[in-house]
Amino acid sequence: MLTVALKELRDALRDTRSLVGSVFYCLMGPAFVWIVARAVKGDSAHTVIAGMISVFTLVAAFSGGMNVAMDVVAGERERRSLVPLLSNRVSRLDIVIGKWLAVVVFSTGGLLLCFLAFRFVYTPAGDSLMLVLLTGMLPLALLAAAVEVGLSTLCSSVKEAHTYLSMLVFVPMAVGMFGIFFPASAALGSLLPVAGQQAQLQRWLGGQPVPLFPSLLVGILTTALAALLIHGTAVWLDRDNAVYGR
Amino acid sequence: MIAIENLHKRYGTSVAIDGVSFEAPDGEITGLLGANGAGKTTTLRIIAGVLAPGAGTIRITGGPGTLGALLDHTGLYDRLSTRENIEYFGRLRGLSSLDERVGDVIGQLGLTAIADRRVGGLSVGERMKTALARALVHRPRNLLLDEPTNGLDIPTVRSLRDLLRRLRDSGHAIILSSHVLDDVQSLCDRLVVIARGAVVAQGTSDQLCRRTRCGSLEDAYLQLIGEHEVPVC
């Protein structure tokens, strides 16, 4: 699986267009917040900015690895390299994990880039950065990569994968927005993947304590969901449809 | 040797292969002939382990690890160099002395000049040779080739044919699927004709011509697969 991951990393790092696109998407949020921070003043400014940061951070986890994800499986099928790859008798699970690991590197990189850029724009009031990163953001990157590799495996071309993965980015955005505008429902969903990470971010940015147990629980749930998706993707890749398309 | 016995495969309700049986002995090139959709590619993919058979058995001398395959076009990674493409498959095969193996196959196929160039900038012939090198890097005893001369120019076809003859003479069992009867006649020691998912005839080119009482392999092939001449309007 490491052989597959290293090949995908090497391949993706040479795709300048894709890299620039990913960096642009990850920096779009901090740039937008920087502009808004200069326009919004008064008591509501902090709430508005913290809400925007949490949403853009969730989106960065998904957009960081999006371009790589669409190339690693749908791209394999499009360039007709999937059949030669499968003929090496490497287990489907190893192939999927290898590709997922490569996407995780970019998802995590996107998140970290977004975090760093936000530090230039806004100083969070909370002091639980490591807890947020380890129990919230890292599992979120694992899940985002798993969802993206799974979707890419279902698609027969990069164009098709691009369509669905671009739509996927709206899911964390919608969850984040829902959490901001309906805080009561956000409290209920705080143990669910994505919504839980958003609740964590909101508390951290607002200077409220980030509770350890719920954070660990949402981290474990998110990681478990990612593992389940990887397994499902490997099972799907073992089907005839994966070779022949739908 | 590769021996196929009573291979079956269905996709949903459609039957792709319906009881294919044949042998590809060591030191011979076995040609798979058939119209589009006859079941050649599915047969090769099942032998290569890409698809699971519905029923039937496949015996490969030395086990599946001794199989090299060039299936479904070249399927190379454009942003990697020729050497990196070959190394990747060598690593997937778990080769120990990888540098030596890759160097050997690059020399054997005359790829030294383009070894460190990215594959995206190579010609069709160079890409085909790279794909073949990738299939040969683990020194397989048995080789599957699906239409390897598609899109190649005449000098490249000739050098590929020479290479396949050398591999055959060194004892490899080769199964080659092709639509190009010229390739099949000049390379293959025996032919297996597949139509509608089943083997309709097998033997040497002469044996097929004698059996069908045709003067050419083309006529014999068309008769065997049941295709009648279509008038050109």
For residue A245, the model assigns a pLDDT of 62
Tokens 């397989």 map to which residue?
B140
Confidence of residue B112 (pLDDT cuts 50, 70, 90): very high
**B58: in domain:** yes
CA distance A210 to A53: 17
For residue A186, the model assigns a pLDDT of 64
**B95: in domain:** yes
Of B116, B117, B113, B188, the closest CA to residue B149 belongs to: B188
For residue B230, the model assigns a pLDDT of 45
Stated pTM of the model: 0.90
Contact A85 B79 (CB under 8 A): no
**B105: in domain:** yes
Query: What are the pLDDT digits (tens) for A128-140?
Result: 777 777 788 899 9
CA distance A90 to A79: 19
CATH code at position B17 = 3.40.50.300
Structural domain harbouring B68: 2-199
Contact B50 A243 (CB under 8 A): yes
Share of chain A above pLDDT 70, in %: 95
ipTM of this complex > 0.85? yes
Are residues A63 and A89 in contact, defined by beta-carbon separation less than 8 angstroms? Answer: no
For residue B137, the model assigns a pLDDT of 92
A173 touches chain B (CB under 8 A): no
Query: What are the pLDDT digits (tens) for A198-241?
Result: 888 888 887 888 888 888 898 999 999 999 999 999 999 988 88
Contact B72 A88 (CB under 8 A): no
Are residues A140 and A90 in contact, defined by beta-carbon separation less than 8 angstroms? Answer: no
Interface list for chain B against chain A, based on CB atoms closer than 8 Å = 11, 45, 48-52, 64-65, 69-80, 84, 88-89, 91-93, 131, 134-135
**B127: in domain:** yes
Mean pLDDT of B41-48: 92
Tokens 């190893």 map to which residue?
A94
Tabulate helix, strand, coil % of chain A (nearest 5).
80, 0, 20
A196 vs A123 pLDDT, higher one: A196
CA distance A109 to A90: 28
Domains contained in chain B, number: 1
**B80: in domain:** yes
Query: What are the pLDDT digits (tens) for A46-99?
Result: 778 888 888 898 899 999 999 999 999 899 988 889 989 998 888 999 999 999
Confidence of residue B113 (pLDDT cuts 50, 70, 90): very high
CA distance A168 to A150: 12
Burial code of A43-64, b = ≥16 C-beta within 10 A, e = fewer? eeebebbbbbbbbbbbbbbbbb
Residue B38 class from Cβ within 10 Å (0-12 exposed, 13-18 middle, 19+ buried)?
buried
Contact A79 B65 (CB under 8 A): no
For residue B231, the model assigns a pLDDT of 46
**B209: in domain:** no
Mean pLDDT of B126-143: 91
**B141: in domain:** yes
CA distance B115 to B82: 5
For residue A197, the model assigns a pLDDT of 87
Q: At residue B52, does pLDDT exceed 70?
A: yes
Mean pLDDT, rounded, of chain A = 87
**B138: in domain:** yes
Mean pLDDT of B86-102: 92
Q: At residue B232, does pLDDT exceed 50?
A: no
Q: Which of A15, A90, A240 sits opposite B11 (nearest CB)?
A: A240
- Between chain A and chain B, the number of residue pairs with CB atoms below 8 A apart is 67
Residues of A within 8 A of B11 (CB-CB) are 240, 244
Cα within 13 Å of Cα(A8), Cβ side: 30
